[in-house]
Structure 1
Amino acid sequence: MADKPDIVLAVQKTDVLNPEGFKIEKTKTEIKVTASDNAGLMYGTLELAEQIKLYGLEGVKPLVRNPYLEMRGPKFNIPLDVRTPSYSDVCDAAQYNMPHMWDFSFWKDYIDTMARYRYNYISLWSLHPFPSLVKVPGYEDIALDDVQRSTTNWQEYYNLLGIGFDAPEILDNVEVLKSITIDEKIEFWKKVMAYGKSRNVDFHFITWNIFDYGTQGKYGITDEIDNEITKDYFRKSIKQLFVTYPDLAGIGLATGENMHGANAEEKENWAYDTYALGILEAAKEMPERQFKFIHRQHQSGAQEIAEKFKAVVAAENVEFMFCFKYAKAHVYSATQQPYHEHANYLQQIEGMKTLWGLRNDDTFYFRWGAPDFTREFINNLPHNDVAKGIYFGSDQWIWGRDFLTKNPETPNQLEVQKHWYQWMLWGRLSYDPTLSNERFRDILGSHFPEVDANSLFSAWQNASMVYPLTTGFHWGSLDFQWYIEGCKSRPSQAANETGFHDVNRFISLGVHPKSGNQSIPDYVKMVSDGKSTALRTPLQVSDELMNVSSSALDVLKKFKEPTNKELQFTLNDIKTVSFLGKYYAHKIEGATYLALFRDSNKKEYQELAVKALEKALDFWKRYVHQAKQQNHNPLWTNRVGIVDWKQITEWVKQDIEIAKNER
């Protein structure tokens, strides 16, 4: 047997490698991984280990890789404490995950998982985190001991801007989840950030403004924009955050959520007097340290922001970047997005760097995995010299620990491990969008050796396309306007009292502007006028949903009942989502025929509508039955309220009556 080659790891500067890049070279006697820094060496070693696992030593292939996107991280709305809430705290996911935020084993596993998937930063989003994190000079009495959670009888709906989370009934009914001093909290987060740094995962805190949660009116602090005490407190809090945490990489902010009545100039003046001056003071006192400053372009103009913050832009040890909500709330809608174009954003930022926000307020229950969609989406991002990177995450979900799975294989499993394929796809392809489907098939084959990898790959990708096919057609751009796994929104967005998107809403709601779809009203007019279109008609969308769902289900029929519990859960999710896809296929079909009947008064259209909606009900029932085999429900969400599949079934039935009773 031939001698095995030596494996050599080396950090050395080279012209072909950027930061975090690596090179694998192979001879008969040696396999060498070279990188220009430790991060690149870690990624190169992970790549080599994966190749050896999948293909053996003899199958290792030489390659050179540099990161496509420089920053790759999750958006994590962090539920620290009832007194310092995040935007997402009023929901089951946050209430369940609050204690886990103060468990180092959670963060260790989370950071390790993120690093393996090639993410290199974590953004923690909060309305006002400082009382739970720092002791601010001159405002020491604000710092909070212990971790508290409310035991109130929660309402279904709360303010969509994060206002009112300190109502008396919330703060007057609490339990102590963890007895801990503020000094112990500081040591905890120092440890978390240091561990992240050891895995090339930086931490950033990003806030909405102006919120004064946790201050309890002490020192005269309020959320008024012209309160000079508040400005002083915020400025000192920003500086103290960096003084306290030597491994904290950056701070970010959004203006506007609680700045009612202020114009754009007033908002940015406040942001400069607080956040900008705070980080500039920290940067001046720590000239050897590098800082990042992230300004979300939200309810303000990018050029005006850049002009106001030019001192931050010019600071040698502060990197200024913008942040833009690229996909609104539904990354799973279309592989191209229009919102930066509508805002003339690239021209506004004039070549400055930006983080593209990729919001996923869709896949909370079920495992998703469509490499082709992910790769195309990433390749379509405006890159050039402006893309600093992405953040991927949710406002309606906390990607902490799983609490929905019945009889889980691993109790309290990390969500990013339960949804490992989805998170791996966005991380790995953001680092290297040339990574092939062959590699992902091989990874699936290694992960689930009991089934044919090609078949599993195909079924999973087809079922996953139910999300963008449906949401690209039925387009509620914001999280409270549409949640696909419950066919629901806030009541105001559904134009009814329940929030359920009935057949009437499927007629009236428009399509994603980059989806290539035609809306139902436009289709009806086209038919009436005897014209044609190059767009995908509603009935063609219905057919495509049927095709991807049927294709996935046909593959599943070939598989034997698995003994591997994770594989069992995965196949169940694919089957469940396929039933959901058939529900939406028939619903779109029924809505289309009902609209045609209303326009033409042709009885055959009404009959077709009723028939399609009866089929939709059948597949909704199959969806619910399949989903509830392994998932808890109802689920209370912060953006669309309670999602109760049993109750929704009654609303689905009403669609048939709407069509039958149409005159």
Structure 2
Amino acid sequence: MYSSNFFSKALSFFVIILCFSCSNKTNKIVIYSSLDTPKVNFAITDLSEVIGDNYITFESSDRYKSNITLHVEPEEKLKKEGFSIQKDDNKIVVTGYDEAGLMYGTLELAEQLKLYGFEGVKTITRNPYLEMRGPKFNIPLDVRTPSYSDVSDAAQNNIQHMWDFTFWKDYIDTMARYRYNYISLWNLHPFPSLVKVPGYEDIALNDVQRSTVKWKENYNLMAIGFDAPEILENPEIVKTISIEEKIEFWKKVMAYGKNRNIDFHFITWNIFDYGTQGKYGITDDRDNEITTDYFRKSVKQLFVTYPDLAGIGLTTGENMKGANHKEREAWAYDTYALGILDAAKEMPERQFKFIHRQHQSGAREIAEKFKSVVEADNVEFLFCFKYAKAHVYSATKQPFHENANYVEQIKGMKTLWGLRNDDTFYFRWGAPDFTREFIENLPYDVAKGIYFGSDQWIWGRDFLTNNPETPNQIEVSKHWYQWLLWGRLSYDPTISNNRFKDVLANHFSGIDADKLFSAWQNASMVYPITTGFHWGRLDFQWYIEGCKSRPQQAENETGFHDVNRFITLGVHPKSGNQSIPDYVKMITEGETTALKTPLDVVSKLHDVSDNALLNIKGLKTNENKELQFTINDIESLSFLGKYYAYKIEGATYLALYRKSNDKKHQELAVKSLEAALVFWEKYVSEAMSQNHNPLWTNRVGIVDWKQITEWVKLDIEIAKQ
């Protein structure tokens, strides 16, 4: 073993040597490591499971007598978190730039051995494509300190799990294997559930509470009013725990994350005073000096309390009551900026991240106001931009940063691109080609990384599945393929489809991986093809799995997007699609277009849905319940794709009829919408065979597939009028 003094001075490079020839005599593979660290040992555990526990012993005395050796050796081609795998005769050398790189390299080796055996291990060098790769996790800490998503089934079913270490252990391990390296926890005002702030100690909350109120369907879209009397006055205690125990809990969670190369960040919306209950004179008033002092001290105390907390972020504008850009940023500076500067000054040896969302504020104004944070030696200032609005599954190119002149405004500074997925809550998604192309189209030069997640969903534990094989399964395991794709391809977008097919073949033993891969990818494309055509950019404007929005955005009383709304709602600006009104105008005037017409979109939806349905034939089995669930999801999505194909077709013919008064177009519209009803009913039947419904969401209210069926029928009557 090298001495600890050596490691403190050495460059951060590490090597594993794997020799299989020795095992022929001893029937053992001996692993030697000069690094006895949690990150490396985590990966070794996966490696040992592949090789087989009966043939492994661990040695720490002599690396040259070992079959597998981990030691320090520089390699210039590697960067932070990078690794290489070299195979020479009967030896495999995995070199990591640092502990994280070695962990990822060992996980890669374990996967290659699992999929291909020793002979199939390939020599590769990999450095992370995006530096930061993490989830957006709206965290429901307590009814008194809610997240943006709290007024929903997803949050109410997950509050207790947020205080369960076994959840975080499984979640962190899974995310580490998928190459995520940070977790962003989003909450409107988390401080009372996390810290005791000097001078404001009485605000700290004991216990974890959930409300038993009979919830309304829809609440304020800006998250105002989550502390209504009927909500707070009907609590139940879901966990008895003191604030001191809460602090120890989150210290443990963050330390465990660090041991898996995963940092934690808290990100807030403002100004919210949830949990303070008016104590000390605190309000959500921007001009309240007590509030300003409390927030500043809370930010500092968060870092003082949690030594493994990597950073904090904020959003301005949600509840700033008419303040202009300058006023918003002045408050944010006086609270969050000065708070982190206080912490940075007190702990000069520690590195901090400060994340400021460019949301309802201008990037240039932010950069100027926060100059002292930008220039602080031990604080890294990052912007954050909602890159695809609420629908990452819309198009692989997005225009919104261009429209805001965002890249030029941040002047070479780095940003986290926010990838909001407010689409896939029920069904397992998996389209590697879409994911890869999307990631490669991100503006790379200013990209610090991404966060991927939802405002309409809590990626906690599954509560939707009827008769699950694994009750309370964590969502990132249920939706493992989706989360694997975004994590692995953000680290390495060169991963081929053949690798993913091999992963599927290993995950579902005995399956025809080519057919499953094709079916899954095609069914998953129903989301972007539909949303790229029927574009409601924000979460409350469109939820594809329920064909629904808030009533105002649907332009009716129900929120259902009927055939009229499919005519009037526009297309995604980078989808290459033509809207129905523009198509009708083109046909009427005898013109042509290079855009994809509505009927082209119809054809594409039929193609992907039919392909998926064709490929899952013969794949159904009663032996593997997870495979059953996956195929059910693929079939459900295929029926949903057929529904939207016929609905768009019906809307197009109905618009043509209204323009031309040609009865032939009306007849075609009615016929298409009748076919749409058939496939909606197939969709609902298949989806409900394994899923709970109705579902109460925080952004579009109650999604009741049976009720929506009645609204689908009304489309036919609309076309007949």
**TM bracket (short chain):** over 0.9
Separation (CA, whole Å) in 1 of partners of 2:459 and 2:624: 24
Amino acid in the other structure paired with 1:61 = K
Q: Is the 8 A contact 2:207 2:242 kept in 1?
A: yes
Amino acid in the other structure paired with 2:289 = E
Is 2:399 the partner of 1:338?
Answer: yes
Q: Is the 8 A contact 1:10 1:35 kept in 2?
A: no
Q: Which residue of 1 aligns with 2:443?
A: 382
Separation (CA, whole Å) in 2 of partners of 1:233 and 1:11: 47
Is 2:461 the partner of 1:406?
Answer: no
CA shift for structure 1 position 3: 4.7
Separation (CA, whole Å) in 1 of partners of 2:492 and 2:610: 31
CA shift for structure 1 position 301: 1.0
Q: 2:285 aligns with which of 220, 224, 228?
A: 224
Q: 1:426 aligns with which of 458, 462, 486?
A: 486
Is 2:337 the partner of 1:276?
Answer: yes
Q: Which residue of 1 aligns with 2:569?
A: 509
Q: 1:239 aligns with which of 300, 304, 307?
A: 300
Q: Which residue of 1 aligns with 2:654?
A: 594
Deviations 1:503-540 (A, max 9, x none): 00000000000000000000000000000100000011
CA shift for structure 1 position 557: 1.6
Q: Is the 8 A contact 1:473 1:541 kept in 2?
A: yes
Is 2:582 the partner of 1:485?
Answer: no
Q: Which residue of 1 aligns with 2:207?
A: 146
CA shift for structure 1 position 282: 0.4
Q: Is the 8 A contact 2:85 2:124 kept in 1?
A: yes
Q: Is the 8 A contact 2:373 2:381 kept in 1?
A: yes
Amino acid in the other structure paired with 1:566 = E
Q: Which residue of 2 aligns with 1:360?
A: 421
Q: Is the 8 A contact 1:89 1:95 kept in 2?
A: yes
Q: Which residue of 1 aligns with 2:665?
A: 605
Task: Report SS of the residue matched to 1:402.
Answer: coil
Q: 1:299 aligns with which of 350, 360, 365?
A: 360
Amino acid in the other structure paired with 1:97 = N
Q: Is the 8 A contact 1:11 1:36 kept in 2?
A: no
Separation (CA, whole Å) in 1 of partners of 2:72 and 2:704: 54
Separation (CA, whole Å) in 2 of partners of 1:135 and 1:405: 39
Is 2:89 the partner of 1:28?
Answer: yes
Is 2:452 the partner of 1:392?
Answer: yes
Q: 1:452 aligns with which of 512, 527, 540?
A: 512
Deviations 1:19-46 (A, max 9, x none): 1000111111321111121100100000
Q: Which residue of 2 aligns with 1:202?
A: 263
Which stretches in structure 1 are left out of the alignment for 5+ residues? none
Amino acid in the other structure paired with 2:309 = L
Deviations 1:435-481 (A, max 9, x none): 00000000000001231001100000000000000000000000000
Q: Is the 8 A contact 1:10 1:32 kept in 2?
A: no
Q: Which residue of 2 aligns with 1:322?
A: 383
Q: Is the 8 A contact 1:367 1:573 kept in 2?
A: yes
Separation (CA, whole Å) in 2 of partners of 1:161 and 1:560: 44
CA shift for structure 1 position 124: 0.2
Q: Which residue of 2 aligns with 1:616?
A: 676
CA shift for structure 1 position 560: 4.4
Q: 1:167 aligns with which of 210, 228, 234?
A: 228
Is 2:145 the partner of 1:84?
Answer: yes
**Higher deviation after alignment, 546-555 or 5-14:** 5-14
Distance 1:273-1:55 versus aligned 2 partners, 3 A rule? same
Q: 1:348 aligns with which of 409, 432, 445?
A: 409
CA shift for structure 1 position 558: 2.9
Separation (CA, whole Å) in 2 of partners of 1:515 and 1:244: 47
Q: Which residue of 1 aligns with 2:704?
A: 644
Q: Which residue of 1 aligns with 2:159?
A: 98
CA shift for structure 1 position 103: 0.1
Which stretches in structure 2 are left out of the alignment for 5+ residues? 1-19, 24-28, 30-66
Matches within 5 A, 1:467-486: 467-486=527-546
Q: Which residue of 1 aligns with 2:123?
A: 62
Task: Report SS of the residue matched to 1:20.
Answer: coil
CA shift for structure 1 position 562: 3.7
Is 2:175 the partner of 1:121?
Answer: no
Distance 1:591-1:350 versus aligned 2 partners, 3 A rule? same
Is 2:126 the partner of 1:50?
Answer: no
Q: Is the 8 A contact 1:416 1:423 kept in 2?
A: yes
Deviations 1:291-335 (A, max 9, x none): 000000011111111111110000110000100000100000000
Q: 2:690 aligns with which of 630, 654, 662?
A: 630
Q: Which residue of 1 aligns with 2:601?
A: 541
Amino acid in the other structure paired with 1:14 = E
Q: Is the 8 A contact 1:507 1:595 kept in 2?
A: yes
Separation (CA, whole Å) in 2 of partners of 1:328 and 1:8: 47
Separation (CA, whole Å) in 1 of partners of 2:575 and 2:522: 17
Separation (CA, whole Å) in 2 of partners of 1:313 and 1:57: 49
CA shift for structure 1 position 272: 0.4
Q: Which residue of 2 aligns with 1:40?
A: 101
Separation (CA, whole Å) in 2 of partners of 1:548 and 1:276: 49
Task: Report SS of the residue matched to 1:105.
Answer: helix
Q: Is the 8 A contact 1:396 1:639 kept in 2?
A: yes
Deviations 1:376-402 (A, max 9, x none): 000000002x10000000000000000
Amino acid in the other structure paired with 1:107 = W
**Aligned residues between the structures:** 660
Q: Which residue of 2 aligns with 1:252?
A: 313
Q: Is the 8 A contact 2:21 2:90 kept in 1?
A: no
Q: Which residue of 2 aligns with 1:500?
A: 560
Task: Report SS of the residue matched to 2:157.
Answer: helix
Q: Is the 8 A contact 2:461 2:475 kept in 1?
A: yes
Task: Report SS of the residue matched to 2:653.
Answer: helix
CA shift for structure 1 position 265: 0.4
Amino acid in the other structure paired with 1:516 = G
Separation (CA, whole Å) in 2 of partners of 1:231 and 1:12: 50
Deviations 1:340-398 (A, max 9, x none): 000000000000000000000000000000000000000000002x1000000000000
Q: Is the 8 A contact 2:620 2:628 kept in 1?
A: no
Separation (CA, whole Å) in 1 of partners of 2:299 and 2:72: 35
CA shift for structure 1 position 551: 0.6
Q: Which residue of 1 aligns with 2:246?
A: 185
Q: Which residue of 1 aligns with 2:617?
A: 557
Q: Is the 8 A contact 1:8 1:30 kept in 2?
A: no
Separation (CA, whole Å) in 2 of partners of 1:326 and 1:121: 19
Separation (CA, whole Å) in 1 of partners of 2:322 and 2:715: 42
Q: 2:196 aligns with which of 129, 135, 138?
A: 135
Q: Is the 8 A contact 1:569 1:630 kept in 2?
A: yes
CA shift for structure 1 position 7: 3.0
Separation (CA, whole Å) in 2 of partners of 1:558 and 1:299: 51
CA shift for structure 1 position 630: 0.2
Amino acid in the other structure paired with 2:280 = Y
Separation (CA, whole Å) in 1 of partners of 2:290 and 2:103: 46
Distance 1:524-1:11 versus aligned 2 partners, 3 A rule? farther
Q: Which residue of 2 aligns with 1:111?
A: 172
CA shift for structure 1 position 56: 0.2
Amino acid in the other structure paired with 2:629 = F
Q: Which residue of 2 aligns with 1:311?
A: 372
